[in-house]
Amino acid sequence: MLPFGIEYYRPDTIDEALKLYRRLRENHQEPVFYGGGTELLTRARLQNVHFDAVIDLKNIPEVRVHGRSGDWLEFGAGLRLTDLADGNLWPLLTATADRIADHTTRGQITLGGNLLSTIPYREASLPFLLMDEAEALVATEDGIESRPLANLVSDSFIKPGEFLVSVRVKGDEAKGIAYRSRKMTRQDWIDYPLVTVAVTRRADGSLRAAFSGWAGFPFVSSAVNHILSDTGKSARRRAQEAVAHMPVKALEDLHGTREYREFVTEYTLAQIIDELEDD
């Protein structure tokens, strides 16, 4: 039971959804865009968010795209995490998204909801942060705008009244890449991450790593990537240096101390480097 009443809308087009949001705001209501509802409904029950109308986007065809379009691999924001695994269009995305929550919850959580979550992990963003060409298509009053996914964690990435339609990556870049994605939790297989590390190795041997759980937001760091790519040093040494040069300090929270996060990240990175360079 929710502690307050809400109106539910399920528009069929992008235009309808944008107009609906505007009309509700003009009527002094507080609408929110709705993916799988897992976060919104939990927060509403805890009474740490208030809204009186939800605009469920999942009937909009553009929000459900899942396939190749020209050079791009496209993923609708309304796809559920289980849809990503079932389609397995991009194995790195499958590997990362398939470790979020448990299978039943992944059947509710949408890609858009995970990417725009107020919960800090947003693990499905890691594969996109590793790509040169990764874009978000955002529905705005001025039409569909393409925005770099590298800006996902910026406050201005999506403004009130706008919504995420889909995300896309260049197929050739995404598919021709060796990768590992590893989620480290404190104890159980299913839990929020102590740290999740996704690493790619490109044809020229360079490595890139994206992290979730280390800080209050997912990130990549060019300084860290530079260190990881220095094949003149052992995997262990590179992992040590990478951890020492992270752009922010590791979190201290109920999942683990700063020192423990550093230790686990270093160990995981060293193992992944060895594996990728042995392939």
Q: Which is nearer to ligand FAD, 211 or 227 (CB)?
A: 211
Interface positions, 180-209, toward ligand FAD (CB under 6 A)? 192
Q: Which is nearer to ligand FAD, 122 or 238 (CB)?
A: 122
Which residue has 């009053």 as its token pair?
A: 141
Interface positions, 48-77, toward ligand FAD (CB under 6 A)? 57, 77
Q: Which is nearer to ligand FAD, 188 or 278 (CB)?
A: 188
Interface positions, 12-41, toward ligand FAD (CB under 6 A)? 32-40
Q: Which position's Cβ is nearest ligand FAD?
A: 113
Rg of the chain, C-alpha, whole Å:
19
How many residues touch ligand FAD under the rule CB under 6 A: the total is: 31
Stretch of residues binding ligand FAD (CB under 6 A), selected from 113-121, 149-157, 168-176, 243-251: 113-121
Site membership for ligand FAD, residue 117 (CB under 6 A): yes
Where in the chain does DSSP place strands (E)?
7-9, 31-34, 53-56, 66-69, 72-76, 134-140, 143-148, 163-170, 178-184, 195-201, 207-212, 219-220
Report the residue from 123, 135, 262, 266 that binds ligand FAD according to the rule CB under 6 A.
Answer: 123
Pairing of strands 72-76, 163-170: antiparallel
Q: How far apart are CA 235 and CA 228, in angstroms?
A: 8
3-state helix, strand, coil in the chain (%, to 5): 35, 25, 40
Site membership for ligand FAD, residue 116 (CB under 6 A): yes
Q: Which helix (H) or strand (E) holds 270?
A: helix 258-278
